[in-house]
Each structure stands twice: as structure tokens, then as C-alpha cells.
Amino acid sequence: MSDEAFLHHLKTGSGWTKVELRFLAGEDAQIEYDSRWMSSGINRYRLGFRHRRLSNASGVLHLHTIQRYVDAASTELSVEPRLSELIEWDFDDDASWDAFKRPYDSALYEYVVLPAAVPWIADAPDLDEMKDFFGLAKWDSAFELLLWTNYPAIFDPGVKWTNAEIKRVLRCLDKLKFARV
């Protein structure tokens, strides 16, 4: 599956989210994340993963690098800290901290490649209405790859992040549909 690319692109009248997943040579994969919605600013990230194929149609992506583009037009990237360093912890001693943070240092995403493209149904009913009646919402008509995660820190409302934007990016990738490029 090396040197293959998949694209998720959702666009409405108030912005878009574009996510490109590339399986690179060797055991690497990369996501380019670009989200620009009204009132939320510009969020551009490059995420680096180790890729492990489980079969011809499935695999696991282990997140190891988070980089943020410095600004909207830049190719310059800043490196973000490890995942567990982006979460605010409340422990009295270092031993408790070290034992507890290990699972939060590793975010895994799983994917499945479908044997054939299937129709891409809107994720929310209001998107269908915008597409049908106003032509404001657009996305690919079919998808071939589904990506998901069970990384607990992005779903638990009690976990406080030092950078909520990265939490939103990681959560956005859950249950994301991609078309083959």
C-alpha cells in the first residue's frame, strides 16, 4: 500500500476540512490536515505515523509526530510536544504520573479499505439539506477507506488539554471517510 493517497474533503458555504492520507514507502504514513471554518481560524497540521498493515485491506497507524504549519501560506512547520505533554495532569507524585501517562503517549488509528467504492452519505442531515437545496455543501460521491480511533483522551470530557486545537484535529480524524486519489 505504499505511495497511495486518499482524500477527505468536506466543503460548505462557511469553510472546509481537507484531509489527505498518504501511505509512504516503507512503514510510514502521513496526514496533511487543513481546516478553515468561519470563526475558527486556520488549522493546518502534518501528522506522522508508523504504518503496520494487518491485511491487504486493513492496518494500524501509530501517531508519532504532530507538526503545525506556522501560518496559512507557509511551508514552515513547528513541532508539537508528545501527546501526554499536551494533557494537563493532576498527580502529587512522579511515580503515579509516569504509570498513568503511558497509554496517553500513543494514539492509534485503524483503517479498512473497502473492496469497492460505496456511496458517501452525509454525516449530518443538515449537510444533505445544504447540498440538495442550496448547493452549498460538497463532498466526494463515494469513499473507499474508513479511518477510526479509540484514543481515550479525545473522547473523555474530563481530560484537560493544554492545546484544545490538537484535540479537535485528532477527534476529527475519527470515523473519517476517504476517497482514493
d(CA 169, CA 4): 22
Over its C-alpha atoms, the chain yields an Rg (Å, rounded) of 17
**Tens place of pLDDT per residue across the chain (181 aa):** 678 999 999 898 789 999 999 999 889 999 999 999 887 777 899 999 999 999 999 999 999 999 999 877 778 888 888 887 888 776 666 666 666 676 777 799 999 999 999 998 877 777 777 777 777 788 888 999 999 998 988 888 888 888 889 999 999 999 999 999 9
d(CA 32, CA 151): 19
Kindly state the cell numbers that stand for 134: 442550496
Domain that holds residue 70: 4-180
How many domains in the chain? 1
